């Protein structure tokens, strides 16, 4: 029943704070992703969970047991390294059956295990080859198969799919989630890919500059984030500056920089508060009225056209139109944009400025 808790976990390298006071619990059988931009401390955090790196401060508990001084081999977990670390002198089959072998399982059982997981990652035909003869994506799949073959109920994966083609990555992430759910494995999966995190996780832990910014289900973080960084990092969003002009029950009038007005739902701030209204592109529609704007760029995205417009209030607003309507919009054209006011999230305007608040580091 592996449950993993970290409390006040901190790692310092001289003046660099790689992980800053992280506290969280990953429940038994839960699939949690640690998401965040490059350099935010994801690898350092998961390595401290695994026992590869010693924390400067704080503690790691697995099933309530303090892991201080317990090496990775004794933590009963499967681990996938970000920089794939296969045994170069063992072939693919031997790499995957490494854990059952050191546990003294029979040759037959070793063979069944490596067969099972190599089949999962679709590499049965490479069983006899050596890591040096495989491409990066194949090595990553072997690494994943080897971690699964440990048979342990706790899996720690550091960017396990990053070296794969976009298509394979998508297929394999669903297979991975299905498998660990079927086997009842507790999984911590590090990624910087927000779409990957959204699609596999029970819960996402979002990090920035060493610290945990916010945790929640993918839906919570996408629709009702508490932090403007989360709103901007997970999915795409428009950020419109304004002030609360008038508050009433349920609705709130926001004055924009050109004096125009935008009505939004659920804005808990007092009249006069400087705010940022955030709305995702899929909730902005061209209409006969709304925010007066001018198209500044049009991009063909395959399944839709992405339009970027600049409003009279000098906010940049992205919205999407169906492929069939793409020809209706030209750069320089004036449009009116309606905003679905139920889909807005209002944040107080950050003191450090919006750009600084959503910056990746």
Helix (H) or strand (E) run with residue 120 in it: helix 107-120
Q: Which residue has the tokens 């490479």?
A: 126
Is 33 among the residues that bind Mg ion (CB under 5 A)?
no
Nearest to 52 by CA among 31, 67, 62, 32: 67
Nearest to 143 by CA among 77, 76, 82, 196: 82
Q: Which does 13 bind (CB under 5 to 8 A by kind): Mg ion, ligand ATP, none?
A: ligand ATP
Residue among 24, 42, 160, 185 that touches ligand ATP (CB under 6 A) = 42
Question: How many residues sit close enough to Mg ion to count as binding (CB under 5 A)?
Answer: 2
155 binds ligand ATP (CB under 6 A): no
Site size toward ligand ATP (CB under 6 A) is 13
Q: According to the binding rule CB under 6 A, does residue 39 interact with ligand ATP?
A: yes
Which of Mg ion, ligand ATP, none is residue 355 near (CB under 5 to 8 Å by kind)?
none
Q: Does 140 bind ligand ATP (CB under 6 A)?
A: no
Lay out the site mask for ligand ATP across 69-88 (x = CB under 6 A, - = otherwise). -------------x------
Specify the stretch interacting with Mg ion by CB under 5 A; choose among 38-46, 119-127, 295-303, 321-329. Answer: 38-46
For β-strands 4-13 and 16-26, DSSP reports them as: antiparallel
Contact partner, 293, from ligand ATP, Mg ion, none, Cβ < 5-8 Å per class: none
CA torsion sign, 167 to 170 to 176 to 181?
negative
Identity of the residue, 129 or 360, whose beta carbon is nearer to ligand ATP in the bound complex:
360
Interface segment toward ligand ATP; rule CB under 6 A; list 38-46, 305-313, 332-340, 351-359:
38-46
Of positions 33, 43, 230, 237, contacts Mg ion by CB under 5 A = 43
**Quick check: 16 binds ligand ATP (CB under 6 A)?**
yes
Residues 45-84 that bind Mg ion (CB under 5 A): 82
> Token pair for residue 171?
């297929």
Of these, 5, 10, 33, 43, which contacts ligand ATP (CB under 6 A)? Answer: 43
By DSSP bridging, strand 78-80 and strand 251-256 are unpaired
How big is the CA angle at 170 (ends 320 and 323), to the nearest 5 degrees?
Answer: 20
Stretch that binds ligand ATP, among 33-41, 107-115, 133-141, 265-273 (CB under 6 A): 33-41
Q: Could you tell me the smallest distance in angstroms from the CB atom of residue 14 to ligand ATP?
A: 7
As measured in angstroms, the least distance from the Cβ of 190 to Mg ion is 6
Q: State both tokens at 66.
A: 């303090």
**CB-count exposure of residue 298 (10 Å: 0-12, 13-18, 19+):** middle
User: Which pair of tokens denotes residue 257?
Assistant: 């920089």
Query: In angstroms, what CA-CA distances link 304 with 102, 322, 333?
Result: 53, 5, 19
Q: How far is the CB of 82 from ligand ATP (least distance, A)?
A: 6
Q: Is 38 in the site for ligand ATP (CB under 6 A)?
A: yes
Dihedral, 74, 78, 81, 85 alpha carbons, nearest 10? 80
| List of residues 6+ apart from 341 with CB closer than 8 A | 251, 262, 263, 264, 265
Q: Which residue is nearest to Mg ion (CB)?
A: 43
* Alpha-carbon gap, residue 157 to 191, rounded angstroms: 9
Distance CA 233, CA 145 (A): 30
Smallest gap from residue 213 Cβ to ligand ATP (A): 13
Residues near Mg ion, by CB under 5 A? 43, 82
């Amino acid at each position: 029943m592996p449950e993993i808790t970290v409390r006040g976990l901190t790692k310092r390298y001289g003046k660099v704070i790689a992980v800053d006071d992280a506290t969280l619990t990953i429940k038994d059988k839960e699939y949690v992703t640690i998401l965040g931009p490059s350099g935010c401390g994801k690898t350092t955090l998961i390595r401290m969970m695994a026992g590869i790196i010693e924390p400067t401060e704080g503690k790691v508990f697995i099933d309530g047991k303090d892991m201080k001084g317990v090496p990775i081999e004794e933590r009963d977990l499967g681990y996938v390294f970000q920089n794939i670390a296969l045994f170069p002198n063992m072939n693919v089959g031997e790499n995957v059956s490494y854990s059952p072998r050191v546990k003294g399982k029979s040759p037959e059982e070793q063979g069944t295990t490596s067969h099972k997981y190599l089949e999962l990652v679709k590499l049965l035909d490479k069983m006899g080859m050596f890591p040096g003869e495989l491409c990066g994506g194949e090595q990553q799949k072997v690494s994943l198969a080897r971690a699964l073959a440990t048979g342990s109920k706790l899996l720690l994966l550091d960017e396990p799919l990053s070296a794969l083609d976009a298509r394979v990555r998508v297929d394999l992430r669903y297979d991975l989630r299905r498998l660990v759910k079927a086997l009842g494995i507790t999984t911590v999966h590090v990624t910087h890919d927000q779409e990957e995190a959204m699609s596999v996780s029970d819960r996402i832990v979002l990090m920035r500059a060493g610290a945990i910014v916010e945790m929640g289900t993918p839906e919570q973080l996408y629709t009702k984030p508490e932090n403007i960084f989360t709103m901007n990092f997970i999915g795409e969003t428009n950020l419109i500056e304004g002030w609360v002009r008038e508050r009433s029950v349920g609705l709130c009038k926001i004055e924009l920089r050109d004096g125009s007005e935008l009505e939004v739902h659920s804005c808990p701030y007092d009249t006069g508060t400087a705010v940022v209204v955030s709305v995702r592109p899929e909730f902005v529609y061209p209409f006969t009225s709304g925010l007066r704007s001018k198209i500044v760029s049009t991009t063909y995205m395959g399944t839709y056209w992405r339009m970027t417009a600049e409003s009279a209030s000098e906010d940049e607003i992205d919205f999407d139109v169906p492929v069939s309507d793409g020809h209706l919009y030209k750069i320089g054209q004036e449009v009116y944009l309606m905003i679905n006011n139920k889909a807005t999230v209002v944040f107080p305007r950050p003191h450090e400025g919006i750009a600084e608040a959503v910056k990746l580091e």
